[in-house]
């Protein structure tokens, strides 16, 4: 195995910038360095660039530019949406509904609010990771002020029934937030069609730069500020704008939305070939997440009898980047809470790998994984006491 190559299959963790993104950003680091809040010429250039990017984001999600607030990323957008609505509507109620498989940016924010006296219902999901809109309906109380359900799960790729959840929220007069960080550029995202009041997105998940994102806030939604200071973002989000990052996000989101259908079609084909090839070559493999209602590039698999972490290390040695659980929890030995939430026993959750495909991946990459992965799994299984036990139990029969 002397092939020196890198096969990046962790696009749910982050993506490289697309062609044209860095080039568009560069002038705003030096020549066009003006502060958008100042009034002279180079400042106006920055202001116009920020406004243009805001329009690009708005157009991509079918909102209006006045409803787009620029943030430092998906985590800030999630924090702001949830704390912002909870604190602004505190007099109306103290109950929040979310799902048990949200990103930590949502879950930990909700847990923080519980410490502040809010009540949070964490809806369970089915074996495919789907929230049942009927459960949402049943969880609604007259104290509910906010519902937050993600558009697409970052670990297992499951798409949630957002439009149906949004309709229920609208009927109850409850604000509806969706974390659409994984969905943008892969599936259609339209704030009108989905009935959402607030929506989070993050540039580095759609081939833009890291450290920049946006929160869509429907006109009329009351929201406390998260950051206090200057008058930026129409007095709602203080701090001098990350102008280069914002420009990069604008270029990236426009490009991602133009290419979305082709991108999804291409990734779905590659992913299905990867999945087919793996199940042909390796026994005792389980697909996690929904078989069809899933992100085009996501393949989350459990390999029985082995540890995901050891498999990852050996894949890394062969130049293949994948992930087990989510990047935020890797380093800890707890199995993924998302995999436990869809009902996997601990030992099977432990043997899970997430491959997330993206723009640069080719048929060659898939072939390389198909030739590299089976011997790794086989080797780890021959060392696995669980596998030995399984083989003995088969012999007995």
Ligand X SMILES: *Cc1c(COP(=O)(O)O)cnc(C)c1O
SS3 63: coil
284: left (phi over 0), alpha (psi -120 to 50) or beta: left
Out of 46, 178, 195, 202, which residue is the one contacting ligand X (CB under 6 A)?
A: 202
Binding mask 120-149 for ligand X (x = CB under 6 A): ------------------------------
The residue annotated as part of the active site, out of 110, 257, 321, 328, is 328
Selected from 15, 46, 56, 75, the binder of ligand X by CB under 6 A is 75
Task: Please name the residues in contact with 39: beta carbons below 8 A apart, sequence gap of 6 or more.
Answer: none
45, 89, 94, 179: which one binds ligand X (CB under 6 A): 179
Nearer of residues 34 and 185 to ligand X, judged by Cβ: 185
Nearest approach in angstroms of CB 76 to ligand X is: 7
Q: Do the beta carbons of residue 212 and residue 233 sit within 8 Å?
A: no
233 is a site residue for ligand X (CB under 6 A) = no
Choose between 211 and 343: whose C-beta lies nearer to ligand X: 211
What is the rounded end-to-end Cα distance, in angstroms, of the chain? 39
Among 213, 244, 245, 250, binds ligand X (CB under 6 A): 213
| Residue 103 interacts with ligand X (CB under 6 A): yes or no | yes
205 near ligand X (CB under 6 A):
yes
How many alpha carbons lie under 13 Å from residue 188 in its C-beta half-sphere?
A: 8
User: 224, 84 in Cβ contact below 8 A?
Assistant: yes
Cβ 48 to ligand X shortest distance, Å: 25
Q: Smallest gap, in angstroms, from Cβ of residue 397 to ligand X?
A: 44
Site stretch for ligand X (CB under 6 A), options 161-169, 197-205, 282-290, 341-349? 197-205
Please, which residue, 188 or 374, has the CB nearer to ligand X?
Answer: 188
User: Active-site residue 169, yes or no?
Assistant: no
Q: Is 270 in the site for ligand X (CB under 6 A)?
A: no
Among the listed residues 98, 109, 154, 302, the single contact to ligand X using CB under 6 A: 154
- The CA distances from residue 63 to 68, 105, 115, 121, in Å, are 8, 23, 34, 29
Stretch in the footprint of ligand X (CB under 6 A) among 138-146, 201-209, 280-288, 355-363: 201-209
Q: Is 181 in the site for ligand X (CB under 6 A)?
A: yes
Residue 280 token pair: 């042909």
The distance of closest approach from Cβ of residue 198 to ligand X in the complex, given in angstroms and rounded to an integer, is 13
Using the minimum distance from each CB to ligand X, give the nearer residue, 181 or 380: 181
Q: Helix (H, G, I), strand (E, B), or coil: what is residue 202?
A: strand
| Helix (H) / strand (E) containing 186 | none
Per DSSP, the residues of 280-330 read HH-SSEEEES-SSSB-TTEEEEEETTS-HHHHHHHHHHTTEE-BSS-TTTB
Q: Assess contact for 276 and 46: CB atoms under 8 A.
A: no
* For the chain, counts of helices (H) and of strands (E): 13, 12
Closest distance between ligand X and the C-beta of residue 13, in Å? 7
Taking the C-alpha atoms of residue 43 and residue 130, their distance in angstroms, rounded to an integer, is 47
Q: Is residue 74 at the binding interface for ligand X, with CB under 6 A as the rule?
A: yes
Tokens of 216: 């869509």
Binding site for ligand X (CB under 6 A): 73-75, 78, 103, 105, 150, 154, 179, 181-182, 202, 204-205, 213
Residues with a known catalytic role: 328
């Amino acid at each position: 195995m002397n092939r020196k190559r890198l096969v990046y299959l962790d696009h749910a963790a982050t993506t490289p910038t697309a062609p044209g993104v860095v080039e568009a950003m560069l002038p705003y680091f030096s020549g066009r360095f003006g502060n958008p809040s100042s009034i002279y010429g180079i400042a106006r250039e920055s202001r116009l660039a920020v406004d243009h990017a805001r329009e690009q984001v708005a157009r991509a999600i079918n909102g209006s530019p006045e409803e787009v607030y620029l943030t430092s990323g998906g985590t800030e957008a999630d924090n702001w949406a949830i704390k912002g609505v909870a604190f602004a509507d505190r007099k109306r109620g103290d109950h929040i509904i979310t799902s048990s498989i949200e990103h930590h940016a949502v879950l930990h924010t909700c847990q923080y609010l519980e410490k502040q006296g809010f009540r949070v219902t964490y809806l369970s999901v089915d074996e495919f990771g789907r929230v049942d809109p009927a459960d949402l309906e049943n969880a609604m109380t007259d104290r509910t002020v906010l519902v937050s359900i993600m558009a697409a799960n970052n670990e297992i790729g499951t798409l949630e029934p957002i439009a149906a959840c949004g309709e229920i929220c609208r009927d109850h007069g409850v604000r509806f937030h969706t974390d659409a960080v994984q969905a943008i550029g892969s599936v259609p995202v339209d704030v009108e069609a989905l009935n959402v009041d607030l929506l989070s997105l993050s540039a580095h998940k759609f081939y833009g730069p890291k450290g920049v994102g946006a929160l869509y806030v429907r006109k009329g939604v009351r929201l406390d500020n998260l950051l206090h200071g200057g008058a930026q973002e129409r007095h709602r989000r203080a701090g001098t704008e990350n102008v280069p990052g914002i420009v990069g996000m604008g270029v990236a989101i426009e490009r991602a939305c133009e290419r979305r259908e082709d991108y999804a079609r291409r990734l779905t084909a590659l992913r299905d070939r990867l999945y087919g090839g793996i199940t042909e070559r390796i026994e005792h493999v389980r697909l996690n997440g929904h078989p069809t209602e899933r992100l085009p590039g996501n393949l989350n698999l459990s390999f029985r009898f082995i540890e995901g972490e050891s498999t990852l290390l050996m894949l890394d040695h062969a130049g293949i980047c994948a992930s087990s659980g989510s990047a935020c929890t890797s380093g800890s030995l707890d199995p993924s809470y998302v995999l436990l939430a869809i009902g996997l026993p601990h030992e099977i959750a432990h043997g899970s790998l997430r491959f997330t495909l993206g723009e640069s991946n080719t048929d060659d990459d898939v072939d390389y994984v198909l030739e590299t992965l089976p011997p790794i799994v086989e080797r780890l299984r021959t060392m696995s006491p669980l596998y030995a036990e399984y083989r003995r139990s088969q012999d007995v029969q």
